[in-house]
Amino acid sequence: MIASDDDSTIGETFFRAAAEFAHNVLLAVPANPARHYHPQGIEISYRSAAERVRELMRRYRDAGYGVGHSVGLLLENRPEHFLHKLALNALGVCCVPLNPDHRARELAYVIDHAALDLLVVVSNLEAQLRSGIAESKRRPALVPCEGFDALPRAARSADSTTPTAASAASVLYTSGTTGNPKGCVLSHGYELAAGAWYATRGGMASFGEGSERLFNPFPLYHVNAGIFSFFCVMLKGNCQVQTDRFQASRWWTEVYESRATVVHVLGVVMPVLLNLPAHPHERDHAVRFAIGGGGEPQRHAAFEQRFGFPLLEIWGMTEMVRALIDCHPPRGVGTRAIGRAQPGVEVRVVDDHDTDLADGTPGELLVRHSAATPRKGFFSGYLHDAAATEAAWRGGWFHTGDVVVRDPDGLLHFVDRRKNVIRRSGENIAAAEVEALLQTHPLVQEVAVLGVPDELREQEVLACIVLKDEAADRAAAVRTLVDFCHDKLAYYKAPGWVWLTDHIPMTPMQKIQKHHLFAPDVDPRTAPGMFDMRSLKKRAAR
């Protein structure tokens, strides 16, 4: 494994890896005749990547880019994204990956907020990006990735071309549920430490050197694929297999043909794969383990048994490098176990007043590196928002916004995001628990659970459901599902409202976008087709 210390930078570390693992494959794209780029697939060795990165560095340097500049990359999930990022980072330029699903207004916000000096884009998205520039206050230069010979000169001089470990390597934008998203500033030291942490968790998540092929279907503008897994493989001479997106119909074909030994899954991927008919390659593969978060615990054992490899639950966030992984026995299969505190990750479970809670009591997860260096390995801060950064770090602990339960033996179990905890008549209800149960019912294709106002009980549970059979008797289906919840859950957790829809909006990371289900000024209870099932919510006689 390539050593990286607190003073290492991405460029120097990459070139050490390229020299050590020259003949190994760094990046692979599986074949897909329907994809508009690299349809036959492609593999790029460490040596070849280094040659391309050096050439890109020369062009960026000759055009005057370096420390103090920020460059937006709209390169989809193509391997070229990594090559440009490595070249830019080696010169001290901060990279801002852009979301290809964003519309003009959203792109304009990032262009202005991140103060981008240059935009690099694939030709098929150029018109979309130009619409964002038209709505922005800035007017950064734009260059197509395919026509890189015409790289425009930087409008202002770089401070230097020699970054430090503390220099900004990336700004990643979190998903905003209210207001605009926040930009997380990640340093060179952060990104290398993230990869080193993942590569050394051991146990059932052990990585060999020069022998692993990590299949990641998630977008490169997120920390998962763009940083966490990529720097893990780079430091150990392994390969990242980067497909364009999660596609259920091609999953097992691509996993098999790419010879993947590790796969990443998130969100609804687990039930989607379980709902597929048997596939010739679902047991005929080289996968040793999967890393994933947010899967329904009721399906965890079934997933492992059917596909023949362990699914290791993970917890992490863009703001910190040290993801927790349930990879050491005794594991919490069938629960949302995410591992235990360990050196480098101290944890607390607290109430709304930051008072420590007893084991077995749900509360917010607080994390830090240590008392001496609480922020070591964390993000540098929220871009242009020191107040939000300090609020998250109040009391010397980072407030994650996630609710967990800790067992007496220290095993942590994820409950839900605090914003997804529904408060009904003094009871805290985790939306994820209700979603997980409903997802197991054969009538349900997709589900999102949220809280809606209730004049008597503060909030009530609303289940938004996509049925597998659109022609089903809708009223009968709703009654069946509510009765199912009453049979499996405490009465107050069952949905008081049910809304049948044909679509639940998802991010490319397969996370539900609950804030897009209803317009901001609409009371969901008034939506057409809403079923009021509150009369069925009665405490059982004792």
417, pLDDT greater than 80? no
The pLDDT, as a whole number, for residue 334 is: 74
Worst-scoring range by mean pLDDT, 17-21, 133-137, 330-334?
330-334
Section 456-461 average pLDDT? 86
Domain(s) of CATH 3.30.300.30: residues in the chain: 425-536
pLDDT value of position 519: 86
Averaged pLDDT of the chain:
92
Kindly indicate whether the domain formed by 340-418 is annotated with CATH number 1.10.287.810.
Answer: no
Per the model's pLDDT, the better-predicted residue between 210 and 416 turns out to be 210
- Rounded to an integer, what distance in angstroms lies between the CA atom of residue 440 and that of residue 307? 18
CB 336 within 8 A of CB 315: no
- Three-state secondary structure call for residue 153: coil
Q: H/E element holding 171? A: strand 168-173
Between helix 431-439 and helix 474-488 the angle, nearest 10°, is 120
The pLDDT value recorded for residue 430 is 78
What fold does the segment set 425-536 form as a domain?
A: GMP Synthetase; Chain A, domain 3 (3.30.300)
pLDDT of residue 175: 60
Q: How far is CA 130 from CA 69, 154, 156, 171, 537, in A?
A: 20, 18, 22, 21, 53
Range of 172-181, 186-195, 414-423, 453-462 with top mean pLDDT: 186-195
344-354 mean pLDDT: 96
Query: What local confidence, expressed as pLDDT, does residue 94 receive?
Result: 98
Contact between 45 and 21 (Cβ < 8 Å): no
Q: Which residue spans within 411-515 are E strands per DSSP?
A: 412-417, 421-424, 427-430, 444-454, 458-467, 497-500
| % of the chain at pLDDT higher than 70 | 97
Tell me the residue length of the chain. Answer: 542
Task: Report d(CA 379, CA 66) in Å as an integer.
Answer: 21
Partners of residue 453 on adjacent β-strands: 459
Question: Nearest Cα to 145, choosing from 73, 94, 87?
Answer: 73
CA–CA gap between residue 326 and residue 387 (Å, rounded): 33
Q: Dump pLDDT digits (tens) for 420-442.
A: 878 787 677 878 888 988 999 99
* pLDDT per residue as tens digits for the range 207-251: 999 999 999 998 899 999 999 999 999 999 999 999 998 899 999
Q: CATH 3.40.50.12780 spans which residues of the chain?
A: 10-339
Whether residue 190 is predicted with pLDDT greater than 90 in this model: the reply is yes
Q: Cα dist. 352→349, 359, 413, 476 in Å?
A: 10, 16, 19, 41
- 28 vs 508 pLDDT, higher one: 28
pLDDT of residue 177: 43
**What confidence score (pLDDT) does residue 540 get?**
60
pLDDT-derived band of residue 178, with 50, 70 and 90 as boundaries?
very low
Report how far residue 127's alpha carbon sits from residue 21's, in angstroms, rounded to the nearest whole number. Answer: 39
- What kind of fold does domain 10-339 have according to CATH? Rossmann fold (3.40.50)
Rounded distance between C-alpha atoms, residue 481 and residue 443, angstroms? 8
Report whether 28 contacts 239 (CB < 8 A). Answer: yes
Q: Where in the chain is the domain with CATH 2.30.38.10?
A: 340-418
pLDDT, average across residues 349-377? 96
